[in-house]
Amino acid sequence: MTPSGKLPRVVILGCGFGGLFAAKSLDGAPVEVTVVDRTNHHLFQPLLYQVATAGLSAPAVAAPIRNILASQSNATVICGDVQRIDMARRAVVLDGDDEIAYDQLIVATGATNSYFGHNEWEQHAPSLKTLDDAYEIRRRVLLAFEHAERETDLAKRAAWLTFVVIGAGATGVELAGAFAEIARHTLRGEFRRFDPRNARIVLVEGSDRVLPTYPASLSEQARLQLESLGVTVWLGRQVTGIDERGVQMGGDTLVAHTVVWAAGVAASPLGASLEVPRDRAGRVIVGEDLSIPGHPEVTVIGDLATLPWHQPPVPGIAPAAKQMGSYAAHKILQQLKGQSVAPFCYKDYGMLATIGRNSAVAVLGKVKLSGYPAWLLWLIAHIWYLIGFRNRIIVMIDWAWAYWTFERSSRIVTGERRRP
Ligand SMILES: Cc1cc2nc3c(=O)[nH]c(=O)nc-3n(C[C@H](O)[C@H](O)[C@H](O)COP(=O)(O)OP(=O)(O)OC[C@H]3O[C@@H](n4cnc5c(N)ncnc54)[C@H](O)[C@@H]3O)c2cc1C
């Protein structure tokens, strides 16, 4: 209880992996929980590329936050865009200037995409973070093939049939592999004026290997698997410009009408309103209990937080955000009992990245896997960790169907047709 005799108010900003796990860990606790998110859904980002590549529909990878927390009677869900945090008044300001007061605040608004100071590239090269982004990428990719069928000029048709993914981290690798499968398998036999198998998928990476955060041997395995799927991998290439013609790398231009950006991440801009030190990516530097300097009542978790004191470094991935969410809830409950907590300690369960059908890489402690065993592990892990029983069933059915038929279940696109 607070001195006024009311239950402590815990406000959680963002209901991604960190925010959701914090909220669920407070189920049944003597606190009033308010969860605020600008969208009405929790999104399973690891499978978002499947929506962007027509493999899954949105309800398979997202679930209404209100529905997930329906049975948690101490939790209220507010759909709103947080504009700033007023720490002096212990209040959160939403769009429309509504305010929510807190006793304890958990900030879990994640990350956004960074174009390294070139925001003008975004219109030509969308990136993947939200469901809207996934729809836009899917629309551009599928309509590029439609344009190619109408185009009679061979050079112009080639520009429609060239797909460039910039950035060979896990998302870039997944997208490039899936684009190759669409061209080689899904669309096979559906066009009369060209063969979709001749589409060119180019994965451009600035460093000297794909999946740079993986061990070098797995990066090499991943590159070979990508090439066997039909992806052209360009390493050590710095992108210097992106416009309606395509991608510039120094003096060279790769002519392409469909470009996807998977190269940079920056922290949620909300971190700036905390007015505490941040790193170069805008992530908030947190202490050993994930709070910020001078404000033990404010805890920052997930992709928005950086933990420079933690060795080895904590990666910006879903398991880290979940663990931080559970820790934040535990810390608050311990503090209410007047007890202290041990510093946050990240448990590393490994990393997985898929490349395509039967192709993936995985690191599990000292064990490194690639190819079919890694892909099977990836499949099981992603179905297991999906939120909601219904979603697991939908995904299993869609994947089983796609595995045997090579079809993709979500190819209907709407919206304006894009012209070069
Ligand atoms: C395409 C993609 C693929 C990925 N693949 C993997 C993978 O395979 N494995 C893995 O472990 N990790 C993966 N990740 C990373 C993983 O998803 C993140 O590390 C994780 O989601 C971070 O959790 P979080 O809670 O910090 O932020 P998020 O999960 O991003 O949640 C942030 C939430 O805050 C909300 N929000 C943001 N700003 C505001 C605001 N101002 N007001 C209100 N609400 C706001 C957002 O709507 C969102 O719901 C992937 C990420 C992406 C983008």
pLDDT score, position 316: 94
Q: Which atom of ligand 1 is nearest to the CA of 94?
A: 42
Instruction: Judge contact between 246 and 255, C-beta under 8 A.
Output: yes
Instruction: Judge contact between 197 and 179, C-beta under 8 A.
Output: no
Average pLDDT over residues 291-316: 96
pLDDT score, position 416: 61
Average pLDDT over residues 87-98: 95
3-state secondary structure 248-263: EECCEEEECCEEEECC
Q: Which atom of ligand 1 is nearest to the CA of 325?
A: 25
Give the mean pLDDT of the chain: 94
Average pLDDT over residues 218-223: 96
9-113+265-336 and 119-263, same CATH topology = yes
pLDDT score, position 414: 81
Instruction: Give the domain ranges of the chain.
Output: 9-113+265-336, 119-263
Of 171, 183, 113, 189, the residue nearest 141 (C-alpha): 183
Q: Is the CB of 48 under 6 A from ligand 1?
A: yes
pLDDT score, position 420: 46
- Biggest alpha carbon–alpha carbon distance for the chain: 76
Spelled out in words, what is the top-level CATH class assigned to the domain 9-113+265-336? Answer: alpha beta
pLDDT score, position 2: 65
249-267 confidence digits (pLDDT tens): 998 999 999 999 999 899 9
- How much of the chain, in percent, has pLDDT values that exceed 70? 98
φ and ψ of 93, to 5 deg: -105, 125
Of 105, 137, 133, the residue nearest 14 (C-alpha): 105
Which residue owns the Cα nearest ligand 1 atom 19?
A: 317
- Whole-number Å distance between alpha carbons of 281 and 232: 30
| Residue 174 among the catalytic residues | yes
pLDDT score, position 418: 53
- Least trusted range by pLDDT, from 28-37, 53-62, 204-213: 53-62
- Which residue is catalytic, options 120, 149, 151, 174? 174
pLDDT score, position 380: 92
Report strand pairing: 265-267 vs 258-261. unpaired
186-219 confidence digits (pLDDT tens): 999 999 999 999 999 999 999 999 999 999 999 9
Give the right CATH number for 119-263 from 3.50.50.100, 3.30.70.20, 3.20.20.70, 3.40.50.720.
3.50.50.100
- Whole-number Å distance between alpha carbons of 218 and 173: 13
- C-alpha pair distances (Å), 280 with each of 18, 113, 271: 22, 14, 12
- Least trusted range by pLDDT, from 109-118, 174-183, 229-238, 380-389: 380-389
Average pLDDT over residues 291-320: 96
Q: Is the CB of 82 under 6 A from ligand 1?
A: yes
Q: Is the CB of 92 under 6 A from ligand 1?
A: no
Average pLDDT over residues 212-237: 96
> Is pLDDT of 3 > 70?
no
Q: How far is the CA of 170 from the centre of ligand 1 (A)?
A: 14
Q: Assign 392 a pLDDT band (cuts: 50, 70, 90).
A: confident
275-293 confidence digits (pLDDT tens): 999 999 999 999 999 999 9
Q: Which atom of ligand 1 is nearest to the CA of 42?
A: 49
Q: Which atom of ligand 1 is nearest to the CA of 83?
A: 41
Which residue owns the Cα nearest ligand 1 atom 53?
A: 129
This prediction has a pTM of 0.94
Mutation to probe ligand 1, out of 109, 166, 273, 299 (largest number of atoms < 8 A from CB): 109
Render 270-317 in DSSP notation, one character per residue. GGGGG-S-B-TT-PEE--TTSEETTEEEEEE-GGGEE-TTSSSPPPSS
Give the alpha-carbon dihedral of 174, 111, 237, 372, to 10 degrees.
Answer: -20
Q: Which residues of 318-327 are buried (b: 16+ CB within 10 A; e: fewer)?
A: bbbbbbbbbb
